[in-house]
Amino acid sequence: MEKSRIAVNRSKRKIEKIGKPVHNAQVCCGNQQLVAQVIASSLESLVLDTRPVANSIDDPLLVEIATQLSKSKARITSFVLCNCPRVSPVGIRAIAHAIGSDLKHFSYANSNVDRSILKVLATRLECLEDLDFSECPTLAAEAIREFIPCCNRIMRRCDLSNCPSITDDAICWLSGTIGTQGSLTRCVNLLSLNLAQTKAITDRGLTSLAIGCGALQFLNLEGLVNITDIGMQKLTHGCKRLRVVHLKKCIQLTDETLKSLGEHCHKLQSINLCGCIAISNIGLAAMVEKTKALQVVDVQGCNLLTEQALCILVKALPALQRLNVSGCQQITENGLLTLAAHLPFVQSATSFRGLEPRINAKELKFMHHQKTIAQSAALRIQSWFRGHIGRTIAKSWRCVMIETPAVNRIRRAFLSHCLRNEINFRARKKRKINLAAARIQGLVRGFLLRAKYYRELEESYLHSIQTRAAKRIQSRFRGFLIRRQPTMVNMAIRRMYFRFEEDKRIRCAVRVQRCYRNRLNQCRFLEVVYITQRRREQCNAAAIKLQRLFRSRAARALTRSLRQELESKREWKKHCITMAIKLQSHWRRHATWRHIQHARQEHHRRQRIEYEAATKINALGRGWLGRRLAASERENLSKKHAAAKCIQRAWQHYLHPSHGTIEYKKLVSDIQWQIHLENAQAEQRKEELLEKQRKAAMHDSASEADSEDDWYAFEDGAYWFSPSRNEKEYTRPNRFAREKSMVGLPIKVFWPLEDAWFEGLITKFCASRLKHKIVYLDGDTEWLDLEAMDATYLRLFLGSWMMYENYCPSEVALKAALFVHVRFQLYSVEYFCWRSGWIDSFDATHDVFRLIFDDDATQMVEMDLFAMEDEVQVQDKRSLLWYHPAAFFFGDGYDVRIYDYLTYIPPTETQEPVQEEYTQEAWNTEYYEEFTWQETQEEGEESAAIAEEEVGPTLPMEMTQANEEEYDELSDADEEQEASEDEDEEDEEDD
């Protein structure tokens, strides 16, 4: 070690004497090992870091390192020169020539800045993007001015933190706002700037940054106690791309700074306001109102913030990721817990007071994006498939349904086009004449008024000149008379006194006259201005009235021309509506007609507005189309010739087909004939089976001779039901009503292994497996048999949380369970059509159904279907027929309402008073145990045969036991398939 030090000292003395680097042969063996170590680490990471050998490195070592790097041709992208006191510009020049062309990161942190070294580096660093001058106590504005021009165009990041000598002049050089050639030092592409603890910077430096560094995105102003709201307002006005701002311990900043940030920096994502004691709720609200992308907020020590700030954050920032409110004494833990409950991706922090991201925040975001992509993909596939079906149908119906109506439509469009052109031409001509007349009248009246004004002005000017001339003549004449009188002293004094009095009276009279004439001229001018303004208002009112009369006349003429066409369409639509009304019952016909009349008026009004808008758009588009027509005629002519040749070739091929084509067409016709024959046979067989089932259904055991049962009447004999033996019930079964009434209710399940309650939602019920599908809040899904589980492990929410064994649904909820998971269609007056969808569940707390429409499956709508029964139909899953809600239970043979269904009590042998618990569960237990559907063995075989053949719709109101099982299988097929898929997914996750 002593020898190596002696060699280093010798080489250093030689460098100081001769002023150039020592030859490689003069480097000792110990330094060779040090060079090899630095070269190896540099080649491995492409970073030349002098910090491990800062005390040993000198110019000969740098020269040797530069030589080795030049030989290896390594592209070093980063150079760290920190706290190296024995380095001079000689060694730095060698390093700069070796790696300067590829260098992108240069760190001179924690060092005494040598301006000669910076001058050497400035000659070679042309690709520098990252510059670090942090903790340099001697760094001044002059060093910045000399170094920055080498990389001002491409520099992205600059660190000037903890540099006490940096002032506003350095920031002005950095932004190019000082000097005669500021563009040489302006960093136009600077993205990140760190000025932490550089306390000499004031509002002047921030103003220069706003002018020259508009691309800033990351800015650290920590500890700048001299900046105020004025500087921050100018900074935010010029740097509108800011994303991360640190204003820690900037004690002079107030709410005005936050208002300026919210107004200009809409891309702000993170802000640190720690120690800004003047910040209040008003400034925070103004900032978050427009910065919707804000995710990180640090307000430590802001004692003026209250819990109202949390309400502002939860409303304006749903994507908030981190919030630090340590030291905010007016914000309580309850407020933070409430805020965390309303934000989906955060939870209460463990290492500080505030909120931090959830552990599974990324998974939740990914699931949300995945669902959105899946929905958009499904919509895209549906649109493509429907377009394919539509094109296929249009291609087959083209000859009958398109060509002939198209000819008629083209002819009517051409006639209406000619009529509109004639009307528009006449309207334009009349409008042009009126505008010309109004223009001429305005010009003439303006000319007459200006001539009169100029004449009066000239007269007043002449009068003033004559008045001044008369005064001067009078004064001259009086002086002449006085000079001719004798000159006595006493008479002279008296005359002088009289003259003074006379002059005073004359001056007073002249002043009075001048004031009077001035007032008179002002009154005349105001009168002229008032008359001119009055005439202008009358002209404008007359023009507006003429325009209104003309437009109303043109509108009436256009309405009369379109009335005949609208009348024909109205008559045809009225005929269609009348035919539809005749197919319905009398009570529904009246209600539907009333709604259609109201919708027709709204449709006509909207169509009239669309026609007027289309007329104006057509007038503008025809000019453009006409100009395009002339340019495309030559191209169309060439295309027509090419199409004619193609058609001729196809026609020749059609006239002389090949033998293979003839054989193929013959085979296709034979196959089509065979398909039609099989369809006819299947249709005949289906009709025979249906007729056989209808006869079996019409067979009533109560009409037999050995029947000893009686008929029971319901409400004065309006509806009849037979409880006789072997009898087919004429009402739809409401099986598992209690289980279906739970769909849509929140539930809590206790897991003993984790010793915790997990909250979720009951979404479906599978009747074949007697299981409910539960979707937990954390995204997990599970099928559970609630009846088989321990009742103490389950809780349901029906207005309040209760144990599962205490769940007692209302009678309305039990009866409404009949319609759960049933398709429906609702007549929409807005769209003038039937909207179909699924009934998801029933809300017993508000007595409304939760609906999902097919055209908007992403949104669930709550509606009271019992209150709008005249506009709703439900579909039977087996027959695919649509029924009125009450007829869905009783059948089509009775004229019933929803009130009849809700008040219906099934017949029993003895009507005894029962407890409330029994009445609420009667639809699910004893009623269906006592009155089950029964059939004979022969009827069961026939129904089974019908089910196996799967022929068209049957009578859903006259169902046997076999038909009931088939109906349950159809209704639960989707739930079973989904339950099996969910269990497979759970098994895969367990594996």
CB 257 within 8 A of CB 280: no
Per the document, the length of the chain is: 991
pLDDT of residue 361: 65
3-state secondary structure 642-690: HHHHHHHHHHHHHHCCCHHHHHHHHHHHHHHHHHHHHHHHHHHHHHHHH
Strand ranges across the sheet with 801-803: 781-784, 771-776, 756-766, 746-751, 794-797, 801-803
Region of residue 392 (left: phi > 0; alpha: psi -120 to 50; beta: else): alpha
C-alpha 345/C-alpha 847 separation (Å) is: 33
Instruction: Grade residue 759 by pLDDT with cuts at 50, 70 and 90.
Output: very high
Distance, CA of 711 to CA of 700 (rounded, Å): 12
Cβ pair 772, 764 in contact under 8 A: yes
Q: For residues 316 and 335, give the distance between their C-alpha atoms in angstroms, rounded to a whole number.
A: 16
Q: What are the pLDDT digits (tens) for 353-375?
A: 888 888 776 677 677 777 888 88
211 or 21: which carries more pLDDT confidence? Answer: 211
Work out the average pLDDT over 873-891.
85
- Do the beta carbons of residue 220 and residue 248 sit within 8 Å? no
Is pLDDT larger for residue 778 or for residue 894?
Answer: 778
Task: Give the pLDDT of residue 982.
Answer: 56
In the chain, the largest separation of any two C-alpha atoms, in whole Å, equals 167
More confident residue, 915 or 606: 606
Q: Is the pLDDT of residue 981 over 70?
A: no
With a cut of 80, say whether residue 729 has pLDDT above it.
no
For residue range 154-178, list pLDDT tens digits in order.
889 999 999 988 899 888 888 888 8
Q: Which residue has the higher pLDDT, 372 or 30?
A: 372
For residue 181, what pLDDT is reported? 66
Number of neighbours of residue 569 by Cβ within 10 angstroms = 11
Chain segment 781-837, per-residue pLDDT in tens: 889 998 888 888 899 998 888 888 888 898 888 988 889 989 999 888 777 788 899
Confidence label for 139 from pLDDT (cuts 50, 70 and 90): confident
Report the pLDDT value the prediction gives residue 908, as an integer from 0 to 100.
Answer: 52
CB neighbours (10 Å) of residue 67?
18
What's the pLDDT tens digit per position in 682-719? Answer: 888 877 877 776 665 554 444 443 333 333 333 343 33
d(CA 11, CA 735): 102
Q: Quote the CA–CA distance of 910 and 918 in Å, as a whole number.
A: 15
Q: Where are the domains of the chain?
A: 1-104, 243-372, 719-990
C-alpha–C-alpha distance, residues 239 and 834, integer Å: 54
Ramachandran category for residue 46: left, alpha or beta (phi over 0 → left; psi -120 to 50 → alpha): left
pLDDT value of position 18: 36
pLDDT score of 13: 47
What pLDDT is attached to residue 260? 93
Instruction: Please give the Cα distance from 247 to 235 (Å, whole number).
Output: 13
Query: Can you give the pLDDT at residue 234?
Result: 92
Q: Which range (10-24, 124-138, 567-581) has the least confidence?
A: 10-24
Q: How much of the chain exceeds pLDDT 90, in percent?
A: 12
**Between 250 and 732, the higher pLDDT residue:** 250
CB 307 within 8 A of CB 325: no
Contacts made by residues 461-464, CB under 8 angstroms, sequence distance 24+ = 463/517, 464/517
- Count of CB atoms situated within 10 Å of the CB of 929: 8
904: nearest Cα among 880, 887, 926: 887
The C-alpha torsion from 75 through 78 and 81 to 86, rounded to 10°, is: -10
Distances in Å between the alpha carbon of 948 and those of 881, 918, 942, 966?
20, 39, 10, 10
Q: Is pLDDT at 256 greater than 90 in this prediction? A: yes
Give the tens place of pLDDT for each residue, 910-956: 444 444 443 434 434 443 343 333 333 344 444 434 343 333 333 33
**End-to-end CA, the chain:** 63
3-state secondary structure of 823: strand
- What would the mean pLDDT of 264-292 be, rounded to a whole number? 90
Q: Which range has the top average pLDDT, 442-456, 617-631, 976-990? A: 442-456
Average pLDDT, the chain: 78
DSSP letter for 184, please: G
- Sequence-ordered list of residues with C-beta below 8 angstroms from that of 254, at least 6 positions apart, any chain: 229, 278, 279, 283
Angle, vertex CA 101, rays to CA 100 and CA 104, nearest 5: 75
The backbone torsions φ and ψ at residue 225, rounded to the nearest 5 degrees and listed phi first, read: -80, -10
Confidence of residue 572 (pLDDT cuts 50, 70, 90): confident
Average pLDDT on 111-139 reads 82
Confidence band for 19, pLDDT divided at 50, 70 and 90: very low
* pLDDT at res. 828: 81
The CATH superfamily assigned to 243-372 is Ribonuclease Inhibitor (3.80.10.10)
Q: How far apart are CA 109 and CA 89, in angstroms?
A: 17
Question: What per-residue confidence (pLDDT) applies to 485?
Answer: 60
Could you tell me how many helices (H) and strands (E) the chain has, helices first? 26, 27
Segment 724-733 shows an average pLDDT of 54
What is the average pLDDT across 768-783?
88
pLDDT in tens, 829-872: 777 788 899 899 999 888 899 999 888 777 888 988 888 888 89
> What is the predicted pLDDT for the residue at 928?
36
Residue 245 CB: number of other CB atoms within 10 A?
24
Report in angstroms the alpha-carbon separations of 8 from 20, 21, 117.
15, 12, 21
Interior angle at CA 444, CA 441 and CA 449, nearest 5: 120
- Contact residues for 301 (Cβ-Cβ < 8 A; gap 6+): 274, 275, 276, 277, 326, 327, 328
Indicate the pLDDT class of residue 980, thresholds 50, 70 and 90.
low
Helix axes 281-288, 255-264, angle to 10 degrees: 10
Torsion sign over Cα 177, 179, 181, 184? negative
d(CA 704, CA 28): 126
Helix 115-122 with 89-99: angle, nearest 10 deg: 20
> What is the reported pLDDT for 91?
82
